[in-house]
Amino acid sequence: MSDPVQSAKRALRADLRERRQMMSESAREEAAAGIEQQLDRLLLDTEATSISCFLSTPTEPGTRGFVERAVARGIRVLLPITRADGLLDWAVASTDTDIGEGMFGLPEPIGEVLGPIAVNDVDLLVIPAAAVAADGMRLGWGRGYFDKTIGSMERCPPVFAVVFDSEVLDEVPFDALDQPVTGVVTPTRTLTLSHSRH
């Protein structure tokens, strides 16, 4: 017997993944420039001095330029490292961070590893998503790393998911383990979502 929520998630993820793969290189570059501007503005608005951010894959909205600029401005940026137990370790980004391939083939930093609780010190979480709903519910890619991280934090700071404009939807399928986000960053706008639990 199939769980209808899980089936709906799988179908939506497959559709979103296909759409991302069909984007042109120029559309990706334009989106990355927009994401960088929006995240720069979010940093200023939140006055964050320590953040977490992910290293984008080639099909994700580009975050690497933003990470480089934030580090150059003296912002402490923690980058996630996947673990077999479903938790995230962290590494502090630097101007010469070596990038390797982590579990699942995702780009991850190579260097000194900090444990999962290191993220408790950040002022802002910037996380990946497949889609985000208007009520703040986030559809991830199905491994649960960021839901576990957000759910386990004692004092969770604002959490902003990064997606393309077409991935802000009216609703997304979710279950009890899924965590809402504070807001969403797209190449053209940053939205704070009012119904979020944060």
What's the rounded Cα separation, in Å, for the pair 197 and 13? 24
Domain boundaries, the chain: 4-192
**What pLDDT is stored for residue 155 in this prediction?**
87
DSSP category for residue 77: E
8 Å CB contact between 56 and 39? no
**What pLDDT is stored for residue 1 in this prediction?**
41
Which amino acid does the sequence have at 33?
Answer: A
**What pLDDT is stored for residue 100 in this prediction?**
78
Angle of CA points 81, 83, 111, to nearest 5°: 40
Which of these, 101, 159, 168, 98, lies nearest to 125 by C-alpha position?
A: 159
Which amino acid does the sequence have at 13?
Answer: R
Q: Write out the E strands in 53-157.
A: 76-82, 88-92, 98-101, 107-110, 124-128, 131-133, 138-139
**Which CATH number is correct for 4-192, 3.30.870.10, 3.40.50.300, 3.40.50.10420, 3.50.50.60?**
3.40.50.10420
* Cα torsion angle, 137, 138, 142, 147, sign: negative
**What pLDDT is stored for residue 195 in this prediction?**
53
Does an H or E element contain 183, and which? strand 183-185
pLDDT tens, per residue, the chain with 198 residues:
458 888 999 999 999 999 999 999 999 999 999 999 999 999 999 999 999 999 999 999 999 999 999 999 999 999 999 999 989 999 999 988 888 777 777 788 888 899 999 999 999 999 999 999 999 999 999 888 999 999 988 889 999 999 999 999 999 999 888 899 999 999 999 999 865 444
CA atoms within 13 A on the CB side of 154: 7
Q: Which two tokens stand for residue 115?
A: 């444990």
Q: How far is CA 173 from CA 14, 20, 54, 84, in A?
A: 14, 19, 23, 26
DSSP category for residue 61: P
